[in-house]
Amino acid sequence: MPSPKSSKRAKVSEARPPEQLDLLWPGDDVGLLAGVDEAGRGPLAGPVVAAAVILDELNPIVGLNDSKKLTARKRDLLFDEIRAKALCFSIAEATVEEIDELNILHATMLAMRRAVEGLRLRPARVQVDGNRTPQLSIPVQAVVGGDAKVQAISAASILAKVHRDRLCEVMHDAYPVYGFDVHKGYPTAQHLAALREHGATPAHRRSFGPVKAVLESQN
C-alpha cells in the first residue's frame, strides 16, 4: 500500500492541465500565433531565458501546461516533443552582465524580443505570459496566467524552464559548492550560506541585493 507521501506525489504528476484556448483579438482569427514566456527572473545567478513557440495545429501536443505545474520528467519529455512538433521555436537569453546593466525587467524584455526575432517564421501576433510585453514590430498582447491558458505560451514556458535548468547544471559543474543543481540559483538558505562562505562567482548577478551585500562585505 503506497504511503500518503507517495500518493500525494502521484496526484501531482497525474494532474490534468486546465482547458486551454488561444486568446484572440476581435476579428483576428488568422495568421500564426507565437507564445512567449521566460524563466529565471528571481534567481541570484545565471542568465534570464525566454522562449517563443509557434505550434502546429495539425500536430497537437498533449499535456501542455504551466511548466511549474509539471514534474521535471514531464517537462523533459515535453521539451523534446515541442521541439519536434512545433512549426518553429526559438530560445534566447539575456546575460548576467545585461541584467546588471539594464535591470532584470528590461533584460527579460530583451530576451523575449530576441526569442521572437529568432523564430524561423514570422508570426502575425504574439502573446506573452504576464502583464508586460517587449517592444516588437508585431502586434503583442500580455496574458496574465497565460502559461496555463494558452498552449503556445505553455510550450514556451516549458522550453525556457528546461533550458535554464540545464544551464544551472552547467553552473553546478563549474561551481559545485553552491548547489546550483538543487536550487537553480534561487536565494535558498543553502545558496545564501554558500555565498557568505565562498563569495560571488562570475555567474552571480551583482545588482541583486544578497549578492551585492556579500561583495560589499568583502571590501
Q: Quote the strand ranges of the chain, DSSP E.
A: 33-39, 48-54, 88-94, 125-129, 140-143
Burial of 11 (0-12, 13-18, 19+ CB in 10 A): exposed
pLDDT of residue 124: 97
Evaluate whether 51 touches 172 at the Cβ level (below 8 Å).
Answer: no
The whole-number mean pLDDT for each consecutive block of 10 residues of the chain, a chain of 219 residues, reads 41 46 51 97 98 97 96 98 98 98 98 98 98 97 97 98 98 98 97 96 97 89
pLDDT of residue 10: 38
Write down the pTM of the prediction: 0.87
**Cα angle for residues 75, 79, 85 (degrees, 5° grid):** 135
* 124: helix, strand or coil: coil
| Partners of residue 204 on adjacent β-strands | 45
